Amino acid sequence: MAMTSLHLKPPICTGTRSTRVPINVAAARACLSVDTNAADPLKAVVAVGSQEVMEAEQKVMVGTYKRPPLVVSSGKGCKLYDPEGREYLDLYSGIAVNSLGHGDPDWIRVVTEQAHTLTHVSNAFYSIPQVELAKRLVACSFADRVFFSNSGTEANEAAIKFARKFQRYSFPDKKEPATEFISFTNSFHGRTMGAVALTSKEHYRSPFEPVMPGVTFLEYGNIDAAGKLIQSGKIAAVFVEPIQGEGGVHSATKEFLQSLRGACDDSGSLLVFDEVQCGLGRTGYLWAHEAYGVVPDIMTLAKPLAGGLPIEAALVTEKVAASIKHGEHGSTFAGGPLICAAALAVLDKISKPEFLLSVSNKGQYFKELLTRKLGANPHVKEVRGFGLIVGVELDVSASTLVDACRNSGLLIITAGKGNVLRLVPPLIISKPELEHEADVLLECLPVLDASD
C-alpha cells in the first residue's frame, strides 16, 4: 500500500398556470412551520420527515441524481443534520464547495448585509462588489483580467470560446486557425456540451453525442504524446487539472505541467488549468498550480469561491483578454453583488498565509493518519492527495463502505471508477474531527470483505 504526498421546503403553497390553483391549506400551514430563528440546528422545527421528503422528490424531480437515503435539513461547522436530528460529519463539503463549513458567521454577516443593500443588477451595469472581487483575484494570481459566470462547467465553456477566439485573433493570416483541444484520461471538466466533450468518461458523453468535435484524450502525464500533438499546430488549448478530483485524486508531476507549458509556448496553444475543485486553498496553496511553479494562460475556478453560492471565474492573461470583444460572451446572473460579496468574504479568509498553512499541515497529518490506520487492510491500495483533497484507492467498489460510513454518521464521496474514496472536508476541519473520520473508516472497513 503506497502513500503519495505530493430545506427541502414543504409543497409550494400556491401555484399559477393557465387557471388559478386553489390554496392547499395544510401545505400553507406547513410552509409556516419552520422556526427560522432557531440558533441550534437540532432545535429547528422541521415540517416534514425524511421519508416524506424522499417520496415527494420521486414525484416532482427529473431523475438525474441517484441520491442516498439522506435528507439534510441544517448544518453547522463540519456537521450536517437530518430532519430527525441525526448528526453527520461532512467529508463531502457539498463536493468540495463548503470550504468554510456550514454557517460561517463572517460569511453570514456579509451576505445578510449585501442582501439588504443590492442583490442583482445584471451585467448591463457596473457593481462595486464585482469590481472589488476581480481586483482581488487579479492581485493574488497570475491573471490580468477576470470573467465571471455561475458554475464550473460555464467557466470551462468560457475557456473554450476564449481559446478559439484567441487563435483567430492572434493568427489572422493563418488559413485554418487552431480549433482543436487536448484533454486527458480521468478528466472531468463539466456537463454542458463543450465541457462534457473535454470529459474523459464515456458515460458522461455518449448519451448526448454528437458533442463538440475536435477533442483528443491523451494519457494523463504522458509528456511525449502531448508534446507531439501540441506541435501539430492544430491545438487551440490544452485543458488539464493539476490535481484530478472526480477522476480519482491524481496529482500531476511538475515535469508534466512544465512540458505542457513549454510546448504551448512554442506552438501558440493556450494552457488552461481547471482548478474548479483543487483551487482556492484546498491543496494548502491558494492555487494548486503554485506548487508546481507553472503558470497557465487561463485558470477556471468555481466550487468554493462564494462559500456555497453559485459563481465561477475564468482568470486570463492580457493577451487572451485582448482577443475578446463586447458582446462575444456574457451571462445574466454572473458576478452579481450578493455573490461577489460572499466570494470576497471567502477569499479574505482562505488567502491568509496562516489559513493555508493550517490546510497543508492538516492534509499531511490526515494522510499519515489514514495510512497508519487503514494501510494494513488488504483492500487499501494507496492513500494519496495534496492538502485536504485526499483519495483512498481500494481494490473493490467503495459503495458498501460509503453506505456503512453514512449509517455511522460519516459522509464521504467516491471518485475514479467508484473504487476511490474522495475525502474533501471543509478546510476548517479540526484534527480531532479528522481522527474521528479515520476511526469510523477503520470500523467500517470489514464491509468490504463481502465485496471480494
Domains of the chain by start residue, with CATH: 105-351 (3.40.640.10), 354-450 (3.90.1150.10)
Burial class (CB in 10 A: 0-12, 13-18, 19+), 202: exposed
Q: Which residues contact 92 (CB under 8 A, 6 or more apart)?
A: 411, 412, 413, 424
Quote the pLDDT of residue 315.
98
What does R_g of the chain's alpha carbons equal in angstroms? 23
pTM attached to this predicted model: 0.88
Cis upstream peptide for 210 (omega within 30°): yes
Are 414 and 393 contacting, i.e. CB atoms less than 8 angstroms apart?
A: no
pLDDT at residue 209 in the model = 93
Contacts with 220 (C-beta within 8 Å, 6 or more apart), sequence order: 184, 185, 186, 187, 240, 244, 247, 250, 252, 256
Q: What angle do CA 406, 382, 66 make, to 5 degrees?
A: 35
Cα–Cα distance for residue pair 207/28, rounded to 1 Å: 40
Amino acid 400: pLDDT? 97
What pLDDT was estimated at residue 377?
Answer: 96
pLDDT digits (tens), the chain, 452 positions: 554 444 333 333 334 333 333 434 444 344 434 444 445 544 444 468 999 999 999 999 999 988 999 999 999 999 999 999 999 999 999 999 999 999 999 999 999 999 999 999 999 999 999 999 999 999 999 999 999 999 999 999 999 999 999 999 999 988 899 999 999 999 999 999 999 999 999 999 999 999 999 999 999 999 999 999 999 999 999 999 999 999 999 999 999 999 999 999 999 999 999 999 999 999 999 999 999 999 999 999 999 999 999 999 999 999 999 999 998 899 999 999 999 999 999 999 999 999 999 999 999 999 999 999 999 999 999 999 999 999 999 999 999 999 999 999 999 999 999 999 999 999 999 999 999 999 999 999 999 998 66
**CA separation for the pair 188, 59 (Å, rounded):** 30
